[in-house]
């Protein structure tokens, strides 16, 4: 067996080893890494800093991978010397290792410019997992952090620190952020986005010295200005680690020089990754490094043939809500290059394409990078863009979209794997009212095989279905154009606690009646009630805790748990109705009593005199638990539905949900309280309960699905609670349980709730408890109302006519 | 121009509206965060109380059927194909922390029956 030693346990080195393992080889492989970690995804360190991912989430090869592939890992050992004559390596631990073949994958290190004071305490670079951990440890709310360098890494570090609560400034030498990837306009749009996120940007500043006595306290700029800092991150670029190449006597330029086969100037030594220089070019992005690894794997296993021919640089900024994509050339000044631009200052969108000979030459996208794939394809394939010139910056107009599919005969097969024809798809669309790709897959199985016809299916659907909905386009609204799932993520990972913060950072700053109530729900749910409540973002019902009627008056429905009341309560209700001249008193379908036609100003007094809690009849929240008489009185009752129903209502009341939430508990399968058409129903039978979910008796009627059958009342209540919290966390705002259950599938709902692992269930329940602890009877706001919450303003002076 | 004093600015929270009755006229006053704007408190569609609507920038959405009215012009922004007239607007002014309404604009009102 030949000894193959890889120096460098980073992405490029390990990816190359993965490729080598795919070939028949006779290597005994050792990997040295000076970090003590297994191979992780360095590109995602910024996501770790921003709290979106944990250190474990970014592991690429765990220790089992090394073991099962017979690779000897030597972590925490730095190779200090290569003897290319003897073919040995010396380690920082004094060990000497011989090799038959050597791969140098030493990567690069952070460039620290020679500024006086960079050795002070609390000055960091951002390169490794350890750096990231250290930054996480030092960053605190209110901490003044300065990032030197407004490139990709610097901006990502800045955002991460800001999410950790730091007050962040980015200091950049050039006058344009990411000037190697963007033009000045693109840089300006990006700077504005960063400022909107709350990151301060200082351009054209050269740092002269870091100030402070031992610990960094500030920066001094050449211009004479200065800036306070508790923490400084230097992100001024990277330099290839070439020392070992030099000590081995290899040809070294800015990097270790390799040819198209990834061979160095020594026949048994190879190099891959950021430490290499190929045709005069250095590399810092992941795609070309993986490509290099593939080529080197072929070369080193005796399959020399594939060549690495360089790459077109492409960069994507990984900051949620700040789309930046750049690829290819950025220089407009080259002869024969023409620029095509689009910009919308209020949306913060800027796009510029460079064309040369009708082929794409460079791409800059800021604020909307959704088309990056299409452009990358054009760039990579040198596509002739003459036929696309009219809509380079926009998707083709809708009128053209159906053209391709219109030319197909009905009998032509669309999905070869499942054998579905165009005609069959059209029939299905008409017969079942299909309007999403998901529904099409469910009905016809088209595109569920290899998936290569997915695009065609989408186009066909778009052309045929009257109510076509592009699934990925389902954004909450134009004010904050993200799907709700993404918004829940954003709120969670970016630690946003108020509606206005979300709108300011990720939206247009204004909001509307669609997104504001939805965001209000999301921040409340994500933070389990520990959010910053903004009443201006709530619908009027949720500001005054009553349901607005067509004449501007309100209705009042007190809570009557399980539909059980007392003579005393009924007397109070009657007295209030008399005293306030309530125009109508009505028994509702929810086993409660509605007082209709109440004036806003009278609400607090009425609640007070009723002395009953809010029934939330105005809210997207827990309405009621309807019950039948059950075993307490009914001759046929098998379970005590009233006690169980009152308990369920008590556990869930005062909480908010994506849409209204109605439940029922019945004591026998006769189902007198209609539990099978409720969001949650408990159906008692002899010795057990059936818990059913997703029922409807509204615009449509839907029989609820069976979630689980359990033997005790406590387990039935727990199953209901699990489903309730799962719905709260995963449904979109204004999505009723019956749509949610259909979209998710009852099997998945069961797997994620009643059949979930114990700790998953516990987590759901504990978040529910946390929300419940923070919740309160909204009608108690009468005791300490917000300014003018319920009143009509009386003018301070009368107008003289 | 003459003005009448209505209420301290703090009585109208940011991005909310409040109604005030002056004679027979119900006026909705909004605090957009950038100043105060006032409208007739009556949606041209179903008469809904605009003061109870959700404010987005310088528009308000009626709580009854989501008609959207521009706070500056009083014009209906949605539905856009409507030929419905807008609502009347009233000039406002803030002095010493008090929101005031233009009496000229209030008097110009064709008093609602």
Q: Do B52 and A798 touch (CB under 8 A)?
A: no
B111 domain-assigned: no
Considering CB atoms only, which of A550, A788, A797 is closest to B11? A788
Q: Do B56 and A798 touch (CB under 8 A)?
A: no
pLDDT at A693: 98
Q: Does B103 touch chain A (CB under 8 A)?
A: yes
Point out the residue among B5, B52, B106 whose CB comes nearest to the CB of A548.
B52
Give the count of beta carbons closer than 10 Å to the beta carbon of residue A116: 12
Phi, psi at A707, each rounded to 5°: -85, -50
Closest CA to A486 of A472, A500, A465: A472
pLDDT on residue A37: 87
How far apart are alpha carbons A653 and A60 in whole angstroms?
Answer: 45
Residue A460 pLDDT class (50, 70, 90 cuts)? confident
* pLDDT score recorded for residue A164: 86
Start and end residues for every CATH 3.30.390.30 domain found in chain A: 323-395
Cβ pair A801:B54 closer than 8 A: no
Note whether residue B97 is domain-resident: yes
Rounded distance between C-alpha atoms, residue A230 and residue A123, angstroms: 9
Q: Where does CATH 3.50.50.60 sit in chain A?
A: 2-108+240-300, 123-236
- Average pLDDT of A465-476? 69
The answer to whether the CB atoms of B54 and A536 lie below 8 A apart is yes
| Runs of H (alpha helix) within A275-369 | 286-300
3-state secondary structure of A188: helix
Q: For chain A, what percent of residues have pLDDT higher than 70? A: 97
Best B13, B65, B105 member to test A by mutation, with max A CBs in 10 Å, is B13
Residue A401 has pLDDT above 50, yes or no: no
Report the chain A residue with the minimal C-alpha distance to residue B67: A513
Does residue A674 register a pLDDT over 90? yes
Judged on CB neighbours under 10 Å (0-12, 13-18, 19+), A349 is middle
Residues of A with CB under 8 A from a CB of B: 479, 508-513, 516-517, 534-540, 543, 548, 550-552, 786-788, 792-799, 801
How is the beta sheet containing A207-211 ordered, strand by strand?
A207-211, A218-221, A226-228
- Can you tell me the mean pLDDT for A716-736? 97
List, for residues B36-80, the tens digit of each pLDDT value: 999 999 999 889 999 999 999 999 999 998 899 999 999 998 777
| CB-based contact A536 B15, cutoff 8 Å | yes
Average pLDDT, chain A: 91
Name residue, tokens 């209906």: B76
* Mean pLDDT along residues A480-491: 88
Mean pLDDT, residues A219-234:
95
Separation between Cα atoms, residue A54 and residue A726, nearest integer Å: 23
CB of B21 less than 8 A from some CB of A: yes
Residues of B within 8 A of A479 (CB-CB) are 56
Q: Select from A476, A513, A785 the residue whose CB has the most chain B CBs within 10 Å, as the one to mutate to test that interface.
A: A513
pLDDT tier for residue A200 given thresholds of 50, 70 and 90? very high
The answer as to whether B50 is a domain residue is yes
- Of A161 and A311, which is predicted with more confidence? A161
Range of the domain at B52: 3-106
Within A613-679, where are the H helices?
A: 641-652
How big is chain A, counted in residues? 801
- CB contacts of B3 in chain A (<8 Å) are none
Contact A552 B7 (CB under 8 A): no
Which residue in chain A is spatially nearest to B58 when comparing CA positions? A510
Question: For residue A316, what pLDDT band results from cuts at 50, 70 and 90?
Answer: confident
Task: Say whether pLDDT at B103 is over 80.
Answer: yes
Burial readout A706-716 (b: 16 or more C-beta within 10 A, e: otherwise)? ebbbbeebebb
The mean per-residue pLDDT over the stretch A363-379 comes to 85
User: What pLDDT, on a 0 to 100 scale, did the predictor assign at position A371?
Assistant: 76
**Span A101-110, mean pLDDT?**
96
Quick one: pLDDT at residue A470?
65
Give the pLDDT band of residue A435 (cuts 50, 70, 90): confident
pLDDT digits (tens, 9 = 90+) for A44-87: 898 899 887 888 888 888 888 999 999 999 999 999 999 999 99
| Architecture of the A620-776 domain | 2-Layer Sandwich (3.30)
What CATH number belongs to A123-236? 3.50.50.60
Closest alpha carbon within chain A to B20: A793
Higher-confidence position of A428 and A103: A103
Longest CA span, chain B: 42
* A479–B56 CB contact, under 8 Å: yes
Q: What is the mean pLDDT of residues A176-181?
A: 94
Distance CA A90, CA A121 (A): 32
The arithmetic mean of pLDDT across residues A714-743, rounded, is: 96
**ipTM for the complex?**
0.94
**Contact at 8 Å (CB) between A682 and A648?**
yes
How far apart CA A783 and CA A790 sit, in angstroms, is 12
Report whether CATH 3.50.50.60 matches the domain A2-108+240-300.
yes
| Cross-chain Cβ contact B16/A535 below 8 Å | yes
A323-395 has which CATH code? 3.30.390.30
Q: Is the per-residue pLDDT at A426 higher than 70?
A: yes
User: Which DSSP letter does residue A106 get?
Assistant: -
Tens of pLDDT, residues A736-795 = 999 999 999 999 999 999 999 999 999 999 999 999 999 999 999 999 999 899 999 999
How many angstroms separate the Cα of A741 from the Cα of each of A8, A42, A409, A729?
49, 38, 37, 13
Give the β-pairing of A108-110 and A238-240.
antiparallel
Which one of B6, B15, B52 has the shortest CB-CB distance to A796?
B6
Whether the upstream peptide bond of residue B79 has omega within 30° of 0, thus cis, is yes
- pLDDT of A405 above 80: no
pLDDT in the model for residue A458: 83
Tokens of A423: 């005609």
Residue A699, pLDDT > 90, answer no
Size of interface A-B (CB pairs under 8 A): 97
The pLDDT of residue A700 is 83
CATH number at residue B13: 2.102.10.10
Nearest CA in chain A to B63: A540
> Which architecture does CATH list for A400-473?
Orthogonal Bundle (1.10)
Q: Give the contacts of A283 (CB within 8 A, at least 6 positions apart).
A: A273, A274, A276, A289, A292, A311
pLDDT of residue A562 exceeding 60 = yes
Q: What is the mean pLDDT of residues A569-585?
A: 97
- Domain(s) of CATH 1.10.10.1100: residues in chain A: 400-473
Q: Which of B11, B20, B56 is the best mutation test for A, with the most CBs of A within 10 A?
A: B56
B contacts of A536 (beta carbons < 8 Å): 13-16, 54-55
**According to the model, what pLDDT value does residue B113 have?**
36
Judged by a CB distance cut-off of 8 A, whether residue B56 touches chain A is: yes
CB atoms within 10 A of CB A575: 12
- Select from A552, A792, A793 the Cβ nearest to the Cβ of B48: A552
pLDDT tier at A398 (50, 70, 90 boundaries)?
A: very low
Question: Which residues in chain A have Cβ-Cβ distances shorter than 8 Å to B70?
Answer: none
Which residues of chain B lie closer than 8 angstroms to A599, CB-CB? none
Q: Nearest CA to CA, how far is A552 from chain B (Å)?
A: 6
Hunting for tokens 């209705």 — which residue is that? A555
Residues of chain A with CATH 3.30.413.10: 620-776
Question: Any CB–CB contact under 8 A between B107 and chain A?
Answer: yes
Tokens 């570090």 appear where?
A157
pLDDT surpasses 60 at A623: yes
Nearest-angstrom CA–CA distance, A473 and A481: 9
From A600, A515, A524, A526, select the one nearest A556 (Cα to Cα): A600
Q: How far apart are CA A219 and CA A516, in angstroms?
A: 41
> Is residue A701's pLDDT more than 60?
yes
């Amino acid at each position: 067996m030949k000894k193959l030693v890889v120096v460098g346990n980073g992405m490029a080195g390990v990816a190359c080893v993965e490729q080598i393992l795919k070939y028949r080889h006779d290597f005994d492989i050792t990997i040295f890494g000076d970090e003590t970690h297994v191979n992780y995804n360095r590109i995602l360190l910024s996501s770790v800093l921003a709290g979106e991912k944990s250190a474990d989430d970014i592991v690429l090869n765990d220790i089992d991978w090394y073991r099962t592939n017979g690779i000897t890992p030597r972590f925490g050992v730095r190779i200090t010397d290569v003897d290319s004559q003897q073919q040995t390596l010396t380690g920082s631990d004094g060990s000497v290792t011989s090799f038959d073949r050597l791969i140098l994958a030493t990567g690069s290190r952070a460039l620290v410019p020679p500024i006086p004071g960079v050795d002070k305490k609390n000055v960091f670079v951002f390169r490794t997992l350890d750096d990231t951990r250290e930054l996480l440890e030092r960053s605190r709310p209110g901490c003044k952090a300065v990032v030197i360098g407004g490139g990709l890494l610097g901006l990502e570090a800045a955002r991460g620190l800001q999410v950790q609560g730091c007050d962040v400034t980015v200091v950049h030498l050039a006058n344009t952020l990411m000037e190697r990837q963007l033009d000045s306009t693109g840089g300006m749009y990006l700077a504005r986005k960063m400022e909107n996120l709350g990151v301060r940007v200082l351009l054209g500043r050269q740092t002269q010295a870091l100030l402070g006595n031992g610990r960094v306290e500030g920066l001094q700029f050449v211009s004479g200005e200065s800036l306070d800092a508790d923490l400084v991150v230097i992100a001024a670029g990277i330099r290839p680690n070439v020392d070992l190449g030099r000590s081995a006597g290899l040809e070294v330029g800015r990097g270790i020089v390799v040819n198209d086969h990834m061979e160095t100037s020594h026949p048994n030594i190879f190099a891959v990754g950021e430490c290499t220089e190929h045709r005069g070019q250095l590399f810092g992005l992941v795609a070309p490094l993986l490509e290099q690894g593939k080529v080197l794997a072929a070369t080193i296993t005796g399959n020399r043939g594939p060549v690495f021919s360089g790459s077109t640089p492409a960069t994507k900024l990984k900051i949620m809500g700040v789309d930046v994509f750049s690829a290819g050339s950025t220089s407009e000044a080259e002869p024969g290059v023409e620029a095509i631009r689009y910009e919308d200052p209020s949306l913060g969108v800027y796009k510029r394409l460079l064309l040369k000979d009708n082929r794409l030459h460079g791409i800059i996208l800021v604020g909307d990078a959704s088309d990056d794939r299409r452009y990358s394809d054009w760039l990579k394939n040198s596509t002739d863009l003459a036929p696309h010139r009219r809509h380079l910056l926009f998707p083709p107009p809708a009128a053209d979209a159906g053209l391709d599919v219109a030319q197909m005969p009905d009998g032509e097969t669309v999905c070869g794997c499942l054998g579905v024809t165009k005609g069959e798809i059209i029939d299905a669309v008409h017969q079942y009212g299909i309007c999403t790709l998901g529904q099409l897959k469910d009905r016809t199985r088209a595109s569920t095989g290899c998936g290569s016809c997915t695009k065609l299916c989408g186009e066909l659907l778009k052309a045929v279905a009257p109510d076509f909905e592009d699934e990925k386009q389902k954004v909450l609204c134009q004010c904050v154009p993200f799907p709700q799932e993404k918004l829940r993520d954003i709120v969670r990972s970016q630690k946003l606690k108020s509606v206005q913060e979300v709108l300011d950072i990720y939206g247009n700053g204004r909001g509307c009646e669609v997104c504001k109530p939805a965001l209000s729900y999301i921040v409340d749910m994500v933070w389990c009630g520990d959010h910053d409540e903004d009443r201006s973002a709530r619908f009027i019902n949720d500001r005054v805790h009553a349901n607005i009627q067509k004449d501007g008056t309100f209705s009042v429905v007190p809570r009557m748990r399980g539909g059980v009341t007392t003579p005393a309560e009924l007397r109070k209700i009657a007295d209030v109705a008399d005293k306030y001249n309530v125009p109508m008193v009505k028994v509702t379908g929810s086993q409660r009593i509605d007082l209709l036609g109440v004036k806003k100003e009278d609400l607090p007094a009425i609640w007070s005199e009723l002395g009953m809690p809010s029934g939330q009849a105005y809210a997207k929240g827990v309405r009621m638990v309807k019950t039948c008489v059950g075993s307490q009185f009914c001759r046929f009752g098998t379970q005590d539905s009233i006690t169980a129903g009152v308990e369920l209502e008590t556990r869930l009341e005062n909480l908010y949900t994506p849409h209204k939430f109605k439940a029922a508990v019945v004591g026998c399968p006769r189902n007198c309280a209609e539990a099978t058409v409720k969001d949650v129903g408990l159906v008692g039978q002899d010795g057990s309960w059936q818990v059913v979910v997703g029922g409807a008796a509204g615009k449509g009627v839907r029989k609820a699905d069976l979630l689980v059958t359990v033997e005790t009342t406590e387990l039935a209540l727990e199953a209901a609670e699990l489903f309730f919290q799962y719905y709260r966390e995963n449904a979109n705002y204004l999505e009723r349980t019956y749509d949610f259950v259909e979209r998710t599938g009852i099997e998945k709902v069961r797997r994620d709730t009643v059949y979930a692992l114990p700790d998953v269930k516990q987590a759901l329940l504990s978040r529910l408890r946390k929300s419940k602890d923070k919740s309160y009877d909204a009608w108690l706001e009468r005791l300490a109302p917000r300014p003018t919450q319920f009143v009509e303003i009386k003018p301070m002076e009368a107008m003289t006519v | 121009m003459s003005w009448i004093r209505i209420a301290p600015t703090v009585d109208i929270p940011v991005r909310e509206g409040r109604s005030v009755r002056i004679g027979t006229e119900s006026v909705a006053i909004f605090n957009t965060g950038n100043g105060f704007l006032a409208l007739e408190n009556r949606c041209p569609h179903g008469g809904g109380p605009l003061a109870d609507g959700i404010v987005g920038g310088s528009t308000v959405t009626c709580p009854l059927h989501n008609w959207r009215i521009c706070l500056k012009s009083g014009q209906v922004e949605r539905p856009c194909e409507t030929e419905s007239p807008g609502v009347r607007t009233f000039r406002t002014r803030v002095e010493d922390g008090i929101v005031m309404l233009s009496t000229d604009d209030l008097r110009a009102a064709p008093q609602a029956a």
